Amino acid sequence: MRDQIKIAVDAMGGDNSPNKTIDGVILNHKSSKNVFYKIFGDKNKISNLIGDKIDKDFFEIIHTTDVVKSTDSPLEGAKRGKNTSMWLAIESVKNKEADIVVSAGNTGALLVISKLNLKMIENIDKPALSALWPNKKSMSVVLDLGANIECSSKNLLDFSIMGASLYTSLYPEDKPNVGLLNIGSEELKGNETIKETYQILNEKKSRNYDFAGYIEGNHLMDGEVNVIVSDGFTGNVALKTAEGTANFITSELKKAMTGSLIGKISSLLNISNLNKFKKRLDPRLYNGAIFIGLDSPVVKSHGGTDYIGFSNSLDVCHRIVKGNLIEKIKQNI
């Protein structure tokens, strides 16, 4: 099919792979009939898992038994050679044999191997790791989440443009509203890099997004800002804090609802609302971080997610390619 989107899948990365990655592909295929999966990994294991659950017109297995380990340093992962499932998957995007690549494997190695194989978009100095977060209204794009510990005002400006382009690709009906993550909302607060970036964004009017100024950590989920920009250190701390808080709330609520007879009766009476609450905070539904700034998109699935989470990362891949993310960044830069 000429309009098929081709996703390169590193089937061997992450916990319980290739079982969870292949189950994720099978689940994703049920709702994405215009996707072709180029699957990299152990052919014997993968073939047994797929069986007859996907028509042969929709996938291809590229055999390799070499794997980047989760315990590898980024450099060790790259040194494992060009025959690992991760390297081959990324290389297929480089060679235009696939539109996008996804892996649940070693994050550091994925970033290094991606940078070794793929060129930077012209005028972008550093790539950024971005992800989707739920907010009160819909979803937000947040970046950088750890690829760059130190950033200049030029880097943060680039992240704003790339984040707005990503948001438009995923949600074409909404206009991006960009905010800089800071320790206060007042114009004078923050370090020199943040303040310099604020001035540039405030003066630089864009047709592609609005600039909302600073946003504090306690307003990340309000939904007033849908593209949140930060350096990698601050963004990673914010991400881990949000994940930890969500896990704490759900576990404490579960204890309260199952710890006594009254709690159990209350949970039965509120089962519908509790299921909605649980679904809203389910990290599997927001799985799929995007490494942007390179001339081809790279998606990182959480290593510990299950097949439902991996299927959602494949859905993110589909939406990114369909939304022409790379072309949007190039136009906006």
What average pLDDT does the segment 249-275 reach? 66
Band (33; pLDDT cuts 50, 70, 90): confident
In this predicted structure, which of 4-18, 66-80, 218-232, 250-264 has the lowest mean pLDDT? Answer: 250-264
pLDDT score of 280: 60
Kindly report the number of other CB atoms within 10 A of residue 125's CB atom.
13
Q: Which two tokens stand for residue 192?
A: 């020199």
Closest CA to 234 of 176, 148, 133, 153: 148
Domain boundaries, the chain: 1-124+293-333, 126-285
Backbone phi and psi for residue 59, each to the nearest 5 degrees, phi listed first: -155, 160
Query: How far, in Å, CA of 175 to CA of 164, rounded?
Result: 8
Specify the CATH architecture of the domain 1-124+293-333.
3-Layer(aba) Sandwich (3.40)
Residues contacting 123, CB < 8 A, separation 6+: 158, 333
pLDDT tops 60 at residue 183: yes
Segment 186-207 mean pLDDT: 86
Task: Compute the average pLDDT of residues 309-325.
Answer: 91
**Is the confidence at residue 46, as pLDDT, over 90?**
yes
Q: What's the pTM?
A: 0.83
Contact 110, 70 (CB under 8 A): no
Between strands 298-300 and 100-103, the pairing is parallel
Lowest-confidence pick of 51-65, 168-182, 206-220, 277-291: 277-291
Segment 76-100 shows an average pLDDT of 94
Cβ contact 78:114 at 8 Å: no
Q: Residue 137: pLDDT above 90?
A: no
CATH 3.90.25.10 assigned to domain 126-285? The reply is: no
CB 122 within 8 A of CB 294: no
- Contact between 164 and 332 under an 8 Å Cβ cutoff? The reply is yes
Predicted local distance difference test score (pLDDT) of residue 139 = 85
Q: In terms of pLDDT, which residue wins out, 202 or 275? A: 202
pLDDT-derived band at 2 (thresholds 50, 70, 90) equals very low
Which pLDDT belongs to residue 1? 42
Confidence (pLDDT) at 328: 84
How much is the pLDDT for 244? 79
Calculate what percentage of the chain has a pLDDT beyond 90: 51
At which residue do the structure tokens 């081959």 appear?
88
Which of 73-87, 139-153, 267-281, 319-333 shows the lowest mean pLDDT across its residues? 267-281
Alpha helix segments (H runs only) across 171-260? 192-203, 232-258
Strands of 258-301, DSSP E: 289-292, 298-300
Q: How sure is the predictor about 278, in pLDDT bands with cuts at 50, 70 and 90?
A: low
pLDDT given for residue 35 in this prediction:
93
Q: Strand 227-229's sheet: what is its strand order?
A: 59-63, 35-41, 5-10, 100-103, 298-300, 289-292, 128-134, 139-143, 227-229, 177-181, 210-215
Average pLDDT, the chain: 87
- Of the candidates 88, 119, 103, 93, the one whose C-alpha atom is nearest the C-alpha of residue 21 is 103
Q: What is the mean pLDDT of residues 243-261?
A: 72
* Mean pLDDT to the nearest integer, 83-87: 96
